[in-house]
Structure 1
Amino acid sequence: MLLLQGQATPAAGWDRVAADLATEFRVLRGEQRGVGGSGPVAGTNRPVDPASDAEDRWTTRALAQDVRAVLDAAGVDRVQVVGHSMGGKIAQWLAVDHPERVASLTLLATSAGTADGVPRDEAAHRLLIGRDAEARTALFFDAGWVAAHADEVRTFFTLDAPRRVLRGLYRASTEHDTVAVLPRITAPTLVVHGGRDRLAAPDSARRLAAGIPGARLVLLPDAGHGLHLDSPEAATAVRDFLREHAGR
């Protein structure tokens, strides 16, 4: 199975989830382009070159092609994909463009993009890119969980990437749009979302699930954007779904 993290978060942010799932599955994960020493273009380790950083490189669809290249390099033909936030957007394109590679699709705290017609919480997005670390953390996690897991929170928000890469990833996430192609997704799909999510509204999850044939929706009223880490109910839903589709 493959874990795809959100915009401007590192692969290490999956540590808790990866360790739990690795008791039953082979777990793959990797950094996004330009992050953690990886190159800004798939297959390179060159530093970011502003003169050659074409705008069209920073799209969720292009990032999905990076994921396909990772699967090829790992010798993995078919995989269960779990994507959180922007990772879920990337996962949607992987399922659209390479359906033969996706055995199942789990979409956490994500959407089909602003074209779904659900108004964006502008105040929340200002907090996301602002300097108030405490306010940003509150968008993701329950306060009690934060107090008990300070090291995990620090890891989740620590990213080794230049500013230009951060801008590119943010642009890719905010410009994502799969509304018209969701019916092309054939993989069994689970959508898990928090009722308190301000970065991706619950109505976006409802529309995402409605747009994918046969998709299931699990809406957890008390969860926020970081439900993949702080919600036991989300963890149970994901594991049960993965077990159901293991080996397919």
Structure 2
Amino acid sequence: MDAVDVDGIRIAFTRAGRGRPIVLLGGFVGDGAGTWHHQIDALSGSYTVVSWDPPGSGGSSDVPESFRLPDYATSLAGLISALGLEQPVLVGLSFGGALALEYWRHRGAQVRGLFLAGAYAGWTGSLPAATVAQRLQTCLAASLLPAPEFASTMVPSMFSPDVPTDLVAEVRDNIAASFRPGGFRAMARSSAEADLRDVLPLIDVPTVVLHGAADVRAPGFVADALCAAIPGSRLVILPGVGHVSCIEAPERFTAELEAFLGGLRRHAGPGPDLASPAHP
């Protein structure tokens, strides 16, 4: 894992491959490499693939608990600039989907496409107010637990009922290892406060909304609303898959992502090699 300094914040990231850039934005638990290792392995033969640990988690610096979605977007912009990534495709899972939307709000011309999985227009922008309040209360209470108990509290809602137990254990261990209470509370509050519905009708880049049909954290009505509000977007449903679809069904997830990326590539032409020395 590498790191760069962005406005005094250490941002840890994993970078692999060579070609057009893809930036992978995970949820509010687990680190980037643990969330995205299947996609990093599968895509790095054709693309420059970057995943990050959001500020306040994993190998990145702690940040104040007042950190909010625009602050995360600013840190992400600093990372993308530092790595010389031109017009990346943003792939956002859950919290990472909201972050991708917030990033697009301020830097839409710098984004090639959006692939939003289990995503929200912020909790307030996607869920009933009572659900938002209850979910935030649950998250804040869980943040006071020791890391192993915190991880055990979070994982049950992330998968379909039939997911293998060894996969659940792997994700639980990753969540525990990367957990930092203050950073998690900042991301939970960011999710609860965000309402990005005003951004959705303005999006003018190719967009896929991917929904796991067994996702209980971002249910089907959330994906339907995102797709209906984003002009020209396409809804992809993975039957029998839960919230962390990139982990539970990595082959199906990656196949859909590769199809999306292939369409962008055919439309854009060969383009520059963004992993060349001219783009460090």
Q: Output the CA distance in 2 between the equivalents of 1:146 and 1:122.
A: 31
1:21 is aligned, of 10, 32, 43, to: 43
Moved more, 70-79 or 7-16: 7-16
Q: Output the CA distance in 1 between the equivalents of 2:29 and 2:154.
A: 13
Specify every segment of 5 or more residues in structure 2 that has no aligned partner in the other structure, as ranges.
Answer: 1-21, 143-148, 269-280
Q: SS of the residue aligned with 2:104?
A: helix
Query: Residue 106 of structure 2 corresponds to which residue in structure 1?
Result: 97
Q: Output the CA distance in 1 between the equivalents of 2:191 and 2:220.
A: 17
Task: Say if 2:210 and 2:237, in contact at 8 Å, map to a contact too.
Answer: yes
Q: Aligned letter for 1:19?
A: D
Query: Residue 28 of structure 2 corresponds to which residue in structure 1?
Result: 7
Deviations, residues 64-122 of structure 1 (Å, cap 9, x unaligned):
11111111000112111101000010001112211121111000001112444643387
Cα 1:136/1:109, change in 2 over 3 Å? same
- Please give the root-mean-square deviation of Cα atoms over the aligned residues, in Å: 2.6
Specify every segment of 5 or more residues in structure 1 that has no aligned partner in the other structure, as ranges.
Answer: 41-47
Query: Residue 232 of structure 2 corresponds to which residue in structure 1?
Result: 214
Residues matched between the structures, number = 235
Q: Aligned letter for 1:70?
A: L
Matched, 1:67 2:89: no
Q: Output the CA distance in 2 between the equivalents of 1:135 and 1:35.
A: 18
Moved more, 63-72 or 129-138: 129-138
Task: Say if 2:25 and 2:96, in contact at 8 Å, map to a contact too.
Answer: yes
Q: SS of the residue aligned with 2:114?
A: strand
Cα 1:3/1:155, change in 2 over 3 Å? farther
Q: Output the CA distance in 2 between the equivalents of 1:133 and 1:87.
A: 19
Query: What does 1:196-235 align with in structure 2 at a 5 Å threshold?
Result: 196-231=214-249, 232-235=251-254
Q: SS of the residue aligned with 1:96?
A: helix
Q: Output the CA distance in 2 between the equivalents of 1:121 and 1:69.
A: 30
Cα 1:150/1:206, change in 2 over 3 Å? closer
- Higher share in strand: 2
Give the superposition deviation at 1:195: 1.9
Query: What does 1:112-131 align with in structure 2 at a 5 Å threshold?
Result: 112-116=121-125, 118-119=127-128, 120=131, 130=142, 131=149
Cα 1:94/1:226, change in 2 over 3 Å? same
Q: SS of the residue aligned with 1:98?
A: helix
Task: Say if 1:8 and 1:159, in contact at 8 Å, map to a contact too.
Answer: no
Give the superposition deviation at 1:17: 1.8
Query: Residue 238 of structure 1 corresponds to which residue in structure 2?
Result: 257
Query: Residue 187 of structure 1 corresponds to which residue in structure 2?
Result: 205
Query: What does 1:34-183 align with in structure 2 at a 5 Å threshold?
Result: 34-40=56-62, 48=63, 53=64, 55=66, 58-116=67-125, 118-119=127-128, 120=131, 130=142, 131=149, 133-134=151-152, 136-142=154-160, 145-149=163-167, 152-183=170-201
Deviations, residues 143-181 of structure 1 (Å, cap 9, x unaligned):
554334366424542343532222111111222211012
Q: Output the CA distance in 2 between the equivalents of 1:225 and 1:165.
A: 21
Deviations, residues 17-47 of structure 1 (Å, cap 9, x unaligned):
211121221101111112234334xxxxxxx
Q: Aligned letter for 1:32?
A: P
TM-score (norm 1): 0.83
TM-score (norm 2): 0.74
Q: SS of the residue aligned with 2:209?
A: strand
